[in-house]
A and B are shown apart, each in its own frame.
Chain A
């Protein structure tokens, strides 16, 4: 079945540091890939997405590139801010999944990011 693995957290950085959160996936088909962000006490917000190989999703200074050869979708940001402190979820949706997996999001376990001034 499908699965998503994120790097272990929590991740603690100083302001203006470079951020990478690793995400790798296993899917039977050709999935769409997503990064969601959850700020404290809030719901999930779509941060970026990519639907085919070599697509780069970007938003708010964050980027992730769909790498089919390495089955990865790592999240990066060149200079983090205190306001980026949140939980980040990598997820996939497999349009070719059948049965009970059809149309569902498979989430990674989430990575807690804390940015200090």
Chain B
């Protein structure tokens, strides 16, 4: 089945120690998104890639970076995690950006714990 895969499902890091979260997709979608979700709140968009074009949300801290080396993979790098960065990180994809009925498909998420 075509899908969005996130690894690892659970990640524990130390305060200030860089960490990378991974997302891959077999949907061949053009757009990949990274969201941060705390508790049962709505996900908060951090940034997205449309193909190779990177789009950062205005309120995303500089501590968060992303890379998309090819269509299938996208990485979230947290350069110096703080306790407030502990959250669920969700990757999503969509065929296109905008347009009627364009749907985002989410991965299972990575739960990040910062000690």
- Would you call B109 and A43 a contact (CB within 8 A)? yes
B74-86 near A? 1/0 per residue, CB < 8 Å? 0000000000000
A53 contacts the other chain (CB 8 A): no
Q: How extensive is the interface on chain B, given as a class? A: 20 to 34
Known: A32-B101, A51-B100. A43 touches B42 (CB 8 A): no
Known: A93-B102, A103-B97, A104-B45. A42 touches B108 (CB 8 A): yes
Known: A42-B109, A44-B90. A103 touches B42 (CB 8 A): no
- Would you call A43 and B108 a contact (CB within 8 A)? yes
| Of A16-24, A76-84, A106-114, the one touching chain B | A106-114
- Would you call A51 and B107 a contact (CB within 8 A)? no
Number of interface residues of A (CB under 8 A): 27
- Would you call B106 and A44 a contact (CB within 8 A)? yes
Q: How far is the CA of A110 from the CA of B40 in the complex (A)?
A: 7
- Would you call A46 and B103 a contact (CB within 8 A)? yes
- Would you call B102 and A43 a contact (CB within 8 A)? no
Q: How far in angstroms is the closest Cβ of chain A from B52?
A: 16
Known: A41-B111, A103-B31, A108-B42. A46 touches B102 (CB 8 A): no
- 9 A-B pairs, CB-CB below 8 angstroms? A41-B109, A43-B4, A44-B92, A46-B103, A49-B101, A103-B98, A103-B99, A109-B41, A112-B40
